Amino acid sequence: MARLFLGLDSSTQSLSAVLIDLDTRRLVGEASLGFDAALPAYGTRNGVLRADDPRVVHAPPLMWVEALDRLFEDLRRQGAPLREVLAISGSGQQHGSVYLNAEAERALKGLDPSRPLALQLAHVFARATAPIWMDSSTTDECREIEAALGGPRATAEATGSAAFERFTGPQVRRFAKTQPEDYARTARIALVSSFMASLLAGRLAPIDHGDGAGMNLMDIRERRWHPRALEATAPDLLRKLSPLAAPWAVVSPVARYWAERHGLNPAALACVWSGDNPCSVVGLGLVRPGDVAISLGTSDTYFGTMAECRTDPAGEGHVFVAPTGGYMSLICFKNGSLARERVRDLYGLDWAGFSSALVTTPPGNHGKLMLPYFEPEIVPRVLVPGVRRFDLREDDVAGNCRAVVEAQMLSMRRHSAWMEVRPERIFATGGASRNREILQVMADVHQCPVFRFEVTNSAALGAALRAAHAWHLHAGPPLAWEYVVGGFCEPVPGSEIRPRPETAAPYRDLLRRLAAVSA
Ligand code: XUL
């Protein structure tokens, strides 16, 4: 019998599924449902509900419930072999919180396969909407939590991140402060990930260590609820939180509802879900400490893996538990393609022209340097935008092209140094990763080989691979992660770019210079 595993991804705008065959290393089914178009009755735009206050961004959790039913209908209609699925796991947009009342547990346990899911669960919410990661209304609560825990650095040291507006703890605190009665009737606070896992398991599912780390509530080293963080956040919180579980934990076999209504194998295991970033780490094949992925999108994102837990003393980067059991960082640089495009446009170039500027200028750029903060920057924290040039004239076209890319790569090196892990392989993804010259600067600055990956659905694929790993661990000896991801997460053939050793010294000098001008 084939070994089939299902991975779901409950993201901001859609719910998707990938079905994988572990033996042939192939995707054997795929489905996706965009919330706005498929479920217009919920009134979302791009999957979210906005309030008059632009900082408030929520989503209706009942929409996710209905989407799950619909997604399985689509899979069944396509003829996906659901009867052969051995285990299911999932990925959820991180940080979002779902507030359930005392009815939820009973309703989940008694799901009736003859009735649609949403009709049976409409009454289980203590709050009709769930604040999601795009919500930024909790600045006061962040400062209050940090003050109670001894400041941003101490908060990061304790929970993996300084307090951020979108993180669950500050969101819970705001809810408890502004709607104390609704908070009081909340029996259980779930994350998007644990809520979706609960639907499949037909019982309240635990929160995995990976997504739990995005809450400012979990002791990042001990991997249990942090008593002082809980106390700093809201009254009576421990009783309202699910237990924590390892990322490879199994909740239970799927609820009878899914077997009888949608034809799933009744013995299929419902595994814990995790956050989309932890799932993507596996979906990209980052399974060895020292593996790094850099996504070059509108913003650039640096995902690093590490065996030991270290946190960012500047409180700018995040640390989550990785699905492989170690740790991962997520560091977001806002001025990514945004800055590269601004420089390209400033000089009226196309990408070919931008690339030839990189080819015709030397690594280290003769010491010319740029701080390319076209927009306020997240890492390092720069609130007032502005572009600064050092020994670099504004009319030096090629020098400016090289300077923006070098500044970005040097900044990634500088602001990931707290991890104390030398990257051994960098996997480059995202639109700008098609540009070989940009990747050469990446390889040289980090003195590390770079491989290009073309990925779609890395979170859903990561979830399916996590299900495969969890099922084997449950059934017998565990599979090595390298084996699990092999054949699914492979670089574009021939895409390896090697660092040039002679560029190490000029970049060391430039890094020093960057530190001096940033101080
Ligand atoms: C990570 C974050 C987003 C969400 C949405 O900290 O806020 O990446 O997980 O995908």
Q: What number does the ligand 1 atom closest to the CA of 11 have?
A: 10
Q: Which contiguous run of DSSP H or E holds residue 253?
A: strand 250-253
**For residue 301, what pLDDT band results from cuts at 50, 70 and 90?**
very high
Q: Tell me, what amino acid is at 221?
A: R
Q: Is 168 in the pocket of ligand 1 (CB under 6 A)?
A: no
Cβ of 133 below 6 Å from ligand 1: yes
pLDDT at 1: 77
In Å, what is the CA distance from 172 to each residue of 6, 161, 492?
Answer: 31, 16, 43
pLDDT band for position 455 (50/70/90)? confident
Q: How far is the CA of 94 from the centre of ligand 1 (A)?
A: 5
DSSP 450: E
Q: Provide the residue count of the chain.
A: 519
At 368, the pLDDT band (50, 70, 90 cuts) reads: very high
Cα distances (Å, whole numbers) of residue 284 to 281, 401, 456, 482: 5, 29, 10, 12
Q: Would you state the pLDDT for residue 449?
A: 98
> Is the distance from the beta carbon of residue 171 to the nearest atom of ligand 1 less than 6 Å?
no
- Ligand 1 center–CA 134 separation, angstroms: 8
* pLDDT band, residue 440 (cuts 50/70/90): very high
Confidence at residue 423, expressed as pLDDT on a 0 to 100 scale = 97
Inter-axis angle of helices 397-414 and 436-446, to 10 degrees? Answer: 50
- The response to whether residue 277 sits with its C-beta less than 6 Å from ligand 1 reads yes
Does ligand 1 lie within 6 Å of residue 433's CB atom?
no
Under the banding of pLDDT at 50, 70 and 90, the label for residue 519 is confident
Q: Are 398 and 368 in contact (CB under 8 A)?
A: no
Query: For residue 501, with 0-12 CB atoms within 10 Å meaning exposed, 13-18 middle and 19 or more buried, which class applies?
Result: exposed
Ligand 1 centroid–CA 273 distance in Å is 15
Could you tell me the distance, in angstroms and rounded to a whole number, from the CA of residue 339 to the centre of ligand 1? Answer: 21
- C-alpha torsion sign, points 305, 307, 313, 319: positive
pLDDT, position 379: 95
Ligand 1 mean position, distance from CA 277 (Å)? 7
Q: Whose CA is nearest to atom 9 of ligand 1?
A: 94
Give CA–CA dist 37/26, Å, rounded: 29
Which residue, judged by its Cα, is nearest atom 5 of ligand 1?
93
> Average pLDDT, stretch 478-504?
95
pLDDT attached to residue 369: 97
Let me know if 515 is exposed, middle or buried by CB neighbors in 10 A (0-12, 13-18, 19+): exposed
Q: Is the CB of 93 within 6 Å of ligand 1?
A: yes
Which of 277, 281, 330 is the pocket-test mutation for ligand 1 (most atoms within 8 Å of CB)?
277
Lookup: tokens for 286: 């980052």
Are β-strands 207-208 and 244-245 bridged in parallel, bridged antiparallel, or unpaired? parallel
Per-residue burial over 8-27, b = 16 or more CB atoms within 10 Å of its CB, e = otherwise: bbbbbbbbbbbbbbbeeeeb
Atom from ligand 1 closest to the CA of residue 94: 9
Distance 461 CA to ligand 1 centre (A): 17
Residue of the CA atom closest to atom 3 of ligand 1: 94
Residue 475, pLDDT > 90, answer: no
Q: Please state, in angstroms and rounded to a whole number, the distance separating the CA atoms of residues 77 and 5.
A: 18
| Pocket test residue of 91, 94, 161, 334 for ligand 1, highest count of atoms within 8 A of CB | 94
- 162 pLDDT exceeds 90? yes
Confidence of residue 272 (pLDDT cuts 50, 70, 90): very high
Structure tokens at 472: 């084997």
Q: Ligand 1 centroid to 92 CA: how many Å?
A: 9
Kindly state if the Cβ of 166 falls inside 6 Å of ligand 1.
Answer: yes
**Nearest protein CA to atom 1 of ligand 1, as residue:** 94
14 pocket-lining for ligand 1 (C-beta < 6 Å):
no
10 Cβ inside 6 Å of ligand 1: no
13 Cβ closer than 6 Å to some ligand 1 atom: no
CA of 215 to the centre of ligand 1 (A): 12
Q: Return contacts of 343-347, CB within 8 angstroms, 24+ apart.
A: 343/372, 343/400, 343/401, 343/404, 344/401, 346/400, 347/397, 347/400, 347/401
Asked if 170 and 164 touch (Cβ cutoff 8 Å), the reply is yes
Closest atom of ligand 1 relative to the 275 alpha carbon: 9
Ligand 1 probe mutation, 95, 159, 299, most atoms within 8 A of CB: 95
Q: How far is the CA of 139 from the centre of ligand 1 (A)?
A: 18
pLDDT band at residue 261 using 50, 70 and 90 as cut-offs = very high
Kindly list the distances between the CA atom of residue 184 and the CA atoms of 19, 187, 225, 231, 236, in Å, as whole numbers in the listed order. 40, 8, 20, 15, 9
For ligand 1, whether the C-beta of 94 sits within 6 Å is: yes
- What's the number of CA atoms in the CB half-sphere (13 Å) around residue 170? 27
Residue 121 has pLDDT above 90, yes or no: yes
Name the average pLDDT for the chain.
97
Give the Å distance between the CA of 150 and the centre of ligand 1: 25
Q: What is the pLDDT of residue 40?
A: 98
Q: Is 324 in the pocket of ligand 1 (CB under 6 A)?
A: no
Does residue 472's CB lie within 6 angstroms of at least one atom of ligand 1? no
pLDDT band at 207 (very low <50, low <70, confident <90, very high): very high
Cβ(276) – ligand 1 distance below 6 Å: yes
* Residue 380 preceded by cis peptide, ω within 30: yes
Which residue, judged by its Cα, is nearest atom 10 of ligand 1?
93
Under the banding of pLDDT at 50, 70 and 90, the label for residue 476 is confident
49-81 pLDDT per residue, tens:
999 999 999 999 999 999 999 999 999 999 999
